[in-house]
Amino acid sequence: MKCESLSLSFLIVLAVSTSWVTATSLGFRRIPKSSISSTGGSLLPFTSSAVHPLGTSGAGPGNNSINNHLDVRYSANITLGGKEFVVALDTGSTDLWVLPDDRGEGRYNITDLSVQMRYGDGSYGVDGKIAVAPFQMGTFNVSQQAFLHVDSFTVRGLKELGIDGLLGLSFDFVTASPINRAVTARWGQNATWGSSVLKNIFSQDGHNGSNFIALDLSRTDDLEDTDGGSFSIGEYAEPWKAVAQAPKLYQYPQGGDRWTTLLEGISVGGTPLNLSSLVRNATEGRLVTLLDTGDPTAVIPRNVRNDLYSRIPGAVTFTQGESRTWLIPCNTTTIVEFTFGGFKNLDGLGSMDNTVRGRV
């Protein structure tokens, strides 16, 4: 049978300094079986400086819970201009956007600045105008926060799951934030409401040591239900306190505008694969890896993909047109290990202790 796409679950801690370039601390856990009237120029006030966890999955939508959508999307509840939205948590991008719907508009102002955001290979994304509104998530409040009020979108796998938009958790560089780039071009560098949500939250806190986020992306044994999972800002969820002392994975390349690090190795059934990066000047035998919670699949170079799947007992390929699909028996029991920072502390993908199930 044809099983689901390659999917990766882990605890990820992303530490951000005031310069927004720093080491990335990660602790991996073993997967279980299974028209704004603004002139700019002034710093806007913020109403909270608390460092507080947002909660864990399993709670209802009214209390800022963290939600797991079929093990492919992870979301949190936010409020913009008094209206609640469910937004996907995305470490692969920076900006916040929401889809308007028939529930009525929130209390926010829409500018005349149009922005396009593209994702992946650039073939899909969202279009709209920059808006600004009071923002709230858990105990965090930002009095004026820029976001994209979407007019059209071609992003799949969000609205179908009851998700209203996307919250970017990556760096606030203008190269990574179309919203911040447009706002500062119009109103100047002091128009801080154009910064990302995280940047605005961290700016009000003022404690460099607490400038990090932690996500526990959980799943259950049978891969159908979900269990646990958490997202916190500025502190660790109780089960993951020890991650503060874990070895750090440094950003590679340093100074980049995305959460990238080096993947040192992949092994299947104890046999290592030969790795060759497509990124110029990358360390030999390593893959530059983007830690992206907003993408439900893992994307790897074609040669690595074929090498990986060809080592799975019973795996065969099916080609139709230009599409090549690997078919994996669902009772296969191969262990796939990924090595980061010298530690083989991720045991695989899927269940089976842990079955790799794939359609690439």
Domain ranges of the chain: 11-215
Average pLDDT score over the chain: 76
If we measure between CA atoms, which residue out of 254, 283, 293 comes closest to residue 167? 293
* Extended strands (E) in 200-276: 212-216, 230-233, 248-250, 260-263, 265-268, 271-272
If we measure between CA atoms, which residue out of 355, 313, 316, 315 comes closest to residue 335? 355
pLDDT of residue 219: 67
pLDDT of residue 100: 78
Produce one character per residue of 264-279: b if its CB has 16 or more CB atoms within 10 Å, e if not: bbbbbeeeebebebee
Region 343-358: what's the mean pLDDT?
Answer: 44
The fold of 11-215 is Cathepsin D, subunit A; domain 1 (2.40.70)
pLDDT of residue 8: 38
- Above 70 in pLDDT, residue 27? no
Question: Which class for 347: exposed (0-12), middle (13-18), buried (19 or more C-beta within 10 A)?
Answer: middle
pLDDT of residue 146: 97
pLDDT digits (tens, 9 = 90+) for 53-106: 343 333 333 333 478 887 788 899 999 999 999 999 999 999 999 997 666 666
Within 8 A by CB and 6+ apart from 294, the residues are 73, 88, 89, 90, 91, 92, 93, 166
Q: Is the peptide bond before 53 cis (omega within 30 degrees of 0)?
A: no
Among the ranges given (70-74, 128-132, 280-284, 301-305), the one the predictor scored with the smallest mean pLDDT: 70-74
Region 266-278: what's the mean pLDDT?
Answer: 91
pLDDT digits (tens, 9 = 90+) for 317-329: 989 888 888 998 8
